[in-house]
Amino acid sequence: MELKGMIVANTLLGMAGGIQYLNLKKATRNPRKSSEKTLRSILSYAKDTVFGREHDFAWILEAGDDNELYRRYQEKVPPIDYEDLRPYVERHKNGEADILFPGKPVLYATTSGTTSEPKWIPITREYLDSVYGKMTKVWLFNFIKNRHKVFSGKILSIVGKVKEGEAPDGTMFGSVSGVTQRDCPGFVKALYSNPQCVYSIADYNARYYVLMRMGIEQDITLIVTANPSTIVELQNNVNRFYDEYVDDIEKGTLSEKVVIDPEIRKELEACLKPNPKRAAHLRALKEKYGTVLPKHYWPNLQILNTWKCGNTKVYLDKFANSFPEGMLHQEFGYFSSECRFGLVLDDTLNTVLFPHFHYYEFIEEKDLDNPSPRFLQLHELEEGKRYCPYVTTFAGLYRYNMNDLLEAGPCFGATPTVHMIQKVNGIVTLTGEKLHERQFIEAVREAEKKTGLGVRFFIGFADLDILGYRFYYEFADQKVTQEQAEAFNKEVDQILMRTNIEYKTKRDSLRLKEPLPYRLVEESFEKFKEECIAEGARDGQFKLQLLLQDEKRHAKFKKLVKE
């Protein structure tokens, strides 16, 4: 982009985002006051809905102060998991209005749940415009604050498909980030390196090819993709197809070897034209460096925005030293399909929460197994301690359990920041798949029925070293061969892909590798338990999850694998 274009973008985004940034600073000066105001606003917004009437929102709102408000809210609304909300969401999906919030959703975001049925997260117009949209303005403004040349080139922003399908009443389900990109102002849309139809390409290798064939031709100054495993796969695609990219760029074509729907191909080809100068430069880079990296083909890159917390850290090592010196690799922030909790505004891992947009509650880590835990308010968090968050939103979530473990960081204003540590309560994730123990158990049981092979004991471990899972089976018949075990494991993998949409997406996109099967010796659990008790575990309190990420326990089962 020319200097004039950058000035226009910086001015317009700076004005819109600057106003919202000032509002954020004001709200974070007094999180206790902001939290009370936000909860009252959400309850007032939804008090005449089915859920609001069933849970006496009007009575809750009669509270005279914030402590009484919170006490009444906790009394009338119990902590909620998605399955508690599913009946209300189903009514919305079938066309009913005013169930969880006034009117009907404008969109559903789908994500994996604890059962074979995915979670349908309703998104309201109020949430899109007054929450998500305003937070996006702060997000873009903050890029400029950190690197004023961030919009001097193009943006490679990897989002989901806008529309995946429809609910029974015709309301679409798809990607919130895709919708946001689709509806962004024209001057921002002009900055993207590729048209949105790219995200509708079904084959991931083809999608990566097009993203990089178009992106590598341009001067990219901002990359946005939540999952850093996507960066790894994009560079894998570069390593494999670099010469094909260069040929396409030189001729202004899109290789016929790439399998793309004809309508999408037609739209993409209309954006292309011969660029022999860029092709010659790219060939020179390969001749000079051999393996060509982002720091070579995108030397002006200003910001890379991905997750850096939790298990995603393992991917960062895979592209260490691949990007230009001086580039800011900024943490994407604590973010989910259910809620955009906040934003990271600096070069730390800490997400600044938005107390004027969401109402947050927390349970301290030590209290997670307590049947009657104490719920803390945002202003009560202590730096360095870990908590599970519950959120109430303008999109129909009330005291919703995120099943995440967060750590509180230093304050922004007077409001504690947070960053992600891991999932809790039987959920494991390596690259966003959110695989639940229950899904793994049900997959093994279904595979038993399909194959006729009985399994006496089984356990699964997420393994960062292989970016996949290792599944261990003690077959009832110890004569089961490794070949039979591999066939059984393929059934488990296929069942998991059917029952967990995020698992399938990550497997299809090559970010999650095929799980590896191992046969366990007879009485493997008994031998494992015996070793743990010998080390000091208490027999009466001994319990074991069947899907986990725990290298100490994993090491014990590695010793119980059959030769």
Asked if residue 399 belongs to a domain, the reply is yes
What is the tally of structural domains in the chain? 3
Among 460, 467, 563, 408, which residue's Cα sits nearest to residue 227? 467
- Is residue 171 located within the same domain as residue 292? yes
Asked if residue 163 belongs to a domain, the reply is yes
Is pLDDT at 256 greater than 90 in this prediction? yes
Which stretch of 253-262, 476-485, 545-554 has the lowest confidence by average pLDDT? 545-554
Of 384, 407, 423, the residue at which a domain comes to its end is: 423
Confidence of residue 223 (pLDDT cuts 50, 70, 90): very high
Asked if residue 130 belongs to a domain, the reply is no
Among 343, 378, 344, 345, which residue's Cα sits nearest to residue 359? 378
Residue-number span of the structural domain to which 495 is assigned: 427-558
- Is residue 158 located within the same domain as residue 282? yes
Mean pLDDT of the chain: 92
Tens-place pLDDT, residues 172-181: 998 888 888 8
Among 359, 212, 361, 228, which residue's Cα sits nearest to residue 294? 212
- Is residue 415 located within the same domain as residue 465? no
- Is residue 182 located within the same domain as residue 267? yes
- Is residue 29 located within the same domain as residue 118? yes
| pLDDT attached to residue 537 | 62
| pLDDT attached to residue 312 | 75
- Is residue 269 located within the same domain as residue 184? yes
Asked if residue 400 belongs to a domain, the reply is yes
- Is residue 363 located within the same domain as residue 490? no
Asked if residue 248 belongs to a domain, the reply is yes
Tens-place pLDDT, residues 72-88: 999 999 999 999 999 99
Residue 335's Cα: distance from chain center in Å? 6
| pLDDT attached to residue 1 | 47
Asked if residue 138 belongs to a domain, the reply is no
CB-count burial class (<10 Å; 0-12, 13-18, 19+) for 461:
buried
The contacts of residue 501 (CB under 8 Å, 6+ apart) are 110, 111, 112, 118
- Is residue 415 located within the same domain as residue 461? no
Percentage of the chain exceeding pLDDT 90: 76
Of 301, 322, 346, the residue at which a domain comes to its end is: 301
Averaged pLDDT, 520-545: 76
Asked if residue 133 belongs to a domain, the reply is no
Other residues' Cβ atoms within 10 Å of the Cβ of residue 236? 14
- Is residue 280 located within the same domain as residue 163? yes
- Is residue 295 located within the same domain as residue 355? no
Asked if residue 529 belongs to a domain, the reply is yes
- Is residue 291 located within the same domain as residue 174? yes
Which stretch of 48-62, 195-209, 301-315 has the lowest confidence by average pLDDT? 301-315
Averaged pLDDT, 429-445: 90
Secondary structure string (H, E, C) spanning 21-58 = HHHHHHHHHCHHHHHHHHHHHHHHHHCCCHHHHHCCHH
Residue type, 526: E
| pLDDT attached to residue 7 | 77
Of 377, 407, 423, the residue at which a domain comes to its end is: 423
Q: What is the pTM of this model?
A: 0.84
- Is residue 157 located within the same domain as residue 297? yes
